[in-house]
Each structure stands twice: as structure tokens, then as C-alpha cells.
Amino acid sequence: MKNLPLNPELFTRNRERFIDRMQKNSIAIFVSNDETPSNGDAIYRYKTNSDLYWLSGITQEDSMVILFPDNPDPKYREVLVLVRPNELKEKWDGKRLRMNEAQEMSGIKTIVWLDSLDGLLQPWIHLADTIYLDTNENDRKASLIRTRDYRYVFEMKLRYPLHHYERAAKIMKELRGIKTPLEIEVLQKAIDITENAFRRLLKFIRPGVMEYEIEAEIVHSFLSQRATGEAYGSIIASGDRARTLHYVSNNQECKDGELILMDFGAEYGGYNADLTRTVPVNGKFTRRQRTVYNACLHLHDYAKSLLKPGITITNYTDKVGEEATQQFLKIGLLKKTDVKNEDPENRAYRKYLYHGISHHLGIDVHDLGTRTEPIKPGMVLTVEPGIYIEEEKMGVRIENNVWITKSGNKDLMKNIPITAEEIEAIMKK
């Protein structure tokens, strides 16, 4: 990774949190992701298992984390498994971690080479009553590919059928949803990098620029600030393309008089920022554009005011929907008869705001966290209402990242320009 070294206490604390939730005399095993083939002899850029990274800070392929807090030998209560460095492979693919480097990164003192693991793991399994195995149980997961973690579950159950098995993912969903202050420090760095990129864009955007040129400025700014890269494929959508939520073609010209919606964020130290801003291509909002923009900003601020411990995402979304209805009446998108005759299962406002308002954010852009239980202190959520008007070929979305605390929320993007006046003033310069 390109980032400066992180505080290993971040990962030490995460392991402690997981161990606190383990049953007595149990062992937990986390495996890294597959190296995924592309075409020919190529593979996609490697991305490690998010749970394994959360526990160790290690991003190298063929890695494992093993937690066995009741192991009679204290040396093996926390184990990091790495592939043994190979001189020939390193000539082709680059240097692999040495023991001391991995110890410094993870805070784990015991390092075991993968090719010597079997002789150690079997006696540990025989000592344990319960085995925790990890699976990618993100609620938004759409892929049916049988990944390494699921294959490992199958292999372990086949080899040790009489043990009791538990889902590590169930614990991970609860723990990763609550960010520690050390995690927030890293996330804030990703956000600060994103802010710098946005301020750069405000001075770059002009009529005639191509969407891909803006994307290139983002990538340049991120990498020059030690970001790993983009947290996700940047959405650079000018004009009517802003109504396409996941528009990533980014291949059209930005024209005078249009708005441009930009949804992008930096990844730094494994944590992701997620920012959306909508700005006028020529640096000046028209009266109608300003009206719609300010209505969206009002919804954004209203949604942030609701995000406090105890509210559920469902209740929160319903309240934002009620306010959206009033705003859409005010700016002429809805009529009173539209609201009176609306389908309760498909509210009238949904014609112009057809996505959720918030999602959890962290190591994954759509991070683990509850969607049904009340919001808890420590959670980080996006706030991203939008207004999409087909008749006017216009889309506006405004998104910040918010950390929930016991006393309310803290906007981690509070320093990023957001009002129409702030945006115009910087673009004018």
C-alpha cells in the first residue's frame, strides 16, 4: 500500500474486540481472498479479505489470521500466517513481507509460514470445541461465485465434522459497524485527501472539458497524496447522465449550462471516503439549478439532524421521505393531488428520489452494519439525498460522511465546500 504506516494498535484493539465475543475454548480462522484471474495470464489487482484486514492490517495474498485465546501455549493465541518469501517469485512479483515487517504492521508477534501451518493447525483444532469460520455476508452481496472463504468452510467441515461451527461474520457485522477512534483517524485521512481533490476540481472544471479528464484529475490528486487509489469507480456525470446512479462511462463532454454530478472518494490505509457534489460546469448556477440544489441541500441537512443513536434506518428514511415530499411540492415537482393519491408502497416523492439516503462506510464502501436495529454510537454513515428530474435533464446529489456519537453526529466532511455560494466562489477564482 502507498499510505504511511498505520498505528498497529488499531488492529490489536480490533482483535481484542473479536476475542471478547468468542465462546470459551474456541478458535477463529480467517483466510485471504483469491487472486482473481482476468484474461490470458493476467489477474485483477489483488484486494484482500476485509475482515482479515480489519484484524491485521495485512494486504498480502495467501495470508491467514488465527485466534485461539485459550491455547495452552500463549505463543499461539494470536497467529499471522504468511506465504514464505521466495527469491524467484520476488523477481517477478516483488518483495513479500518478512516476519519483522508483518509484526510491526499487525501487532501480532507470532508469524507462521503457510507451508508449515498444517502440522500446527491440526493439534490446535483438536484442542478446541468450537471453530469460527468467516464468510462474506454483506447484505448487498450479489455475486454467487464460490470464493476462498466458502471453500475453506467446506474443507474444514469435511476434515473436522464433529466440531461445533460458528459464523465469524455475525460478530464481524456488529463489530465493524462500530468504528474506534483509531479507525476514524484513518478514515478522516481518506476524507481529507478527497477534499483536496475536490477543491482542485473546482478550479479545473469548465465548459468543454471531458468527464474522463475530470476523472484523471481525481486519480492524479489521490495518488499524489499517498492514497491507494479510488475507493470505487468515480461517477463523473454531466447533464442528463447525472440521473444514472452508477454512471461510470465518464466519456462525454461537459457543456455550458449543465450541472455535473461527481461521486468519488479516496481509499487510504484500507478505509474509504465517499463524497458527492454537484456543481455548475460554467461556475454559476442558474436560478432553477440553485432552487433544486438548495432543496437537496435542505434534505441533506435535515437528514443529518435525524442521525442520532436510537433511530432505525427505516424510520430515518421515512422521515426524510416526508420532508422530501414537502420540498418537492415547494419547488414544483409534485402537486397536492400527487401526494393525496400516492401508493403507500411507492410514494410520490420516489419519482424524483429513487435510492436510499444512507449506508454504512468503512473498509468497504458499503460497509457492514445493521439495517434493521437502532443506530449505535460509533457507526459511520453516508448522508446522500438526491433529486433527479427527467423532464429537466438534471440530477443533483449531495453526500457527506457522518460519525455517530453519544451526543449526536460529527460531519467528517464539514470542511468540504457544500453551499452554492461556496462552490461558485471557488470556481470563480
Q: What is the CATH number of domain 9-176?
A: 3.40.350.10
Residues 6+ apart with CB under 8 A from 199: 417, 426
Strand locations in 213-303 (E): 229-230, 235-238, 259-264, 266-268, 271-272, 275-280
Q: Phi then psi for 411, rounded to 5 degrees? A: -80, 110
Pair 262, 238: CB distance under 8 Å: no
Using alpha carbons only, what angle is made at residue 221 by residues 3 and 249, rounded to the nearest 5 degrees?
Answer: 110
- Domain map (residue ranges) of the chain: 9-176, 181-428
Closest to 285 (Cα-Cα) out of 303, 260, 265: 260
- As a whole number of angstroms, the longest Cα–Cα distance in the chain is 74
- At residue 317, the pLDDT reads 97
Here the cell at position 317 is: 428514511
Instruction: Find residue 279's DSSP bridge partners.
Output: 260
Which pLDDT score, from 0 to 100, does residue 150 have? 94
Beta bridge partners of 82: 113
Distance of CA 235 to the CA centre of its chain: 15
Residues of the chain with pLDDT under 70: none
* pTM score above 0.75: yes
pLDDT of residue 206: 98
CATH H-level, domain 181-428: superfamily = Creatinase/methionine aminopeptidase superfamily (3.90.230.10)
* Confidence at residue 136, expressed as pLDDT on a 0 to 100 scale: 86
